[in-house]
Copies of this chain bind each other. A is one copy, B any other.
């Protein structure tokens, strides 16, 4: 289907349709959403090559990927794809060595030189993330998924990690737990720092102090959840509740509890952050898992939309979104024995 025909069916001008699909801020959010869903329904796809010729755009958003692999990566990318399939924009992934800042900076410089992307999305920033200054000086538009305390104003979308863990910890304290352990994410990342802050504040509000011996940082995996939960639960003064960084971590925590002949929701309470993976659902775990929930896929879709707006010229300081996190109580949290 041609642009002209598609626009006619919608009763809009071809220019408005083009702008809506490319994320121009002049077009209202409602119109953008309508055009995107109709494009999907009617099978209209803009011609990427015509757009590139007309606008000089590369037609791609860049994302760096460390080979360490990340369970969240696929969900975020699927969310991006959901928005970009009607926006005529691809995703360019540049493989980089994990934990090598210089390598990543170099990769951004080359992306700019080669003009293969119109913008990039960066993930899991640290509080003073050097990538932000470099991208700023390169003049390459970028969106941060997460937040940084950089001196440079930057566009970002983040979830309210501090409040999420503060609420889950308050819930455990309300139930009467006094020895609570926390299996956090990677040390030094802003999201881990915010989560730790939420954990501490929930304790402080009640005149309690979070025990540093009950807090660890690690990657999100079944294995790390098992290992840390075993280590906590085998101590003399074991915790009665555990805050886990992800549903994957919670899987390992459940195993650890069972392996010690105990039962989740009876001897030990467990609550976790849930990014909503389609292949692993908190409500179907046994017992069902209490969570703070925020969809990683929805974040990917919205980050793609905001990046399109950024490319279309929307001001960086207008793009700051902090998403609240839902607290969902199920069977895995109960008063201490």
Does A237 count as interface, using CB distance less than 8 angstroms?
A: no
CB pair A284 B81 closer than 8 Å: no
Chain multiplicity (copies)? 2
CB pair B280 A60 closer than 8 Å: no
Does A18 count as interface, using CB distance less than 8 angstroms?
A: no
CB pair A91 B92 closer than 8 Å: yes
The answer, among B91, B222, B278, for a CB contact under 8 Å with A284, is B222
The answer, among B74, B75, B248, B284, for a CB contact under 8 Å with A255, is B284
Known: A65-B77, A65-B78, A286-B258. A110 touches B49 (CB 8 A): yes
* In the complex, chain B residues whose CB is within 8 Å of the CB of A78: 65, 67-69, 73
Does A319 count as interface, using CB distance less than 8 angstroms?
A: no
- Size of A's binding interface in residues, CB under 8 A: 64
Min CB gap A35→B, angstroms: 16
Does A318 count as interface, using CB distance less than 8 angstroms?
A: no
CB pair A251 B280 closer than 8 Å: yes
* In the complex, chain B residues whose CB is within 8 Å of the CB of A223: 279, 281, 284
In angstroms, Cα B281 to Cα A68, docked, is 16
Does A106 count as interface, using CB distance less than 8 angstroms?
A: yes
In angstroms, Cα B251 to Cα A222, docked, is 12
Min CB gap A260→B, angstroms: 11
In angstroms, Cα B277 to Cα A70, docked, is 10
* In the complex, chain B residues whose CB is within 8 Å of the CB of A80: 95
Min CB gap A332→B, angstroms: 14
* In the complex, chain B residues whose CB is within 8 Å of the CB of A284: 222-223, 226, 252, 255
In angstroms, Cα B80 to Cα A55, docked, is 32
The answer, among B66, B90, B95, for a CB contact under 8 Å with A93, is B90
Contact stretch, chosen from A39-47, A138-146, A164-172, A203-211:
A39-47
In angstroms, Cα B281 to Cα A165, docked, is 27
CB pair B95 A48 closer than 8 Å: no
In angstroms, Cα B49 to Cα A106, docked, is 12
* In the complex, chain B residues whose CB is within 8 Å of the CB of A297: 69
A88-144 interface with B by 8 A CB criterion: 90-97, 100, 102-103, 106, 110, 113-114, 116
Does A16 count as interface, using CB distance less than 8 angstroms?
A: no
In angstroms, Cα B47 to Cα A66, docked, is 19
A232-264 interface with B by 8 A CB criterion: 248, 251-252, 255, 258-259
Does A221 count as interface, using CB distance less than 8 angstroms?
A: yes
A12-71 interface with B by 8 A CB criterion: 40, 43, 45, 47-49, 52, 59-60, 65-71
* In the complex, chain B residues whose CB is within 8 Å of the CB of A74: 69-71, 73-74, 77
Min CB gap A68→B, angstroms: 7
CB pair B47 A110 closer than 8 Å: yes
In angstroms, Cα B255 to Cα A280, docked, is 12
* In the complex, chain B residues whose CB is within 8 Å of the CB of A48: 110, 114
CB pair B82 A77 closer than 8 Å: no
In angstroms, Cα B258 to Cα A284, docked, is 13
- Apart from A92-B93, A255-B284, list 14 A-B contacts with CB within 8 A: A43-B102, A43-B103, A45-B103, A48-B110, A49-B113, A65-B77, A67-B78, A67-B81, A69-B278, A73-B74, A81-B95, A220-B279, A222-B280, A223-B284
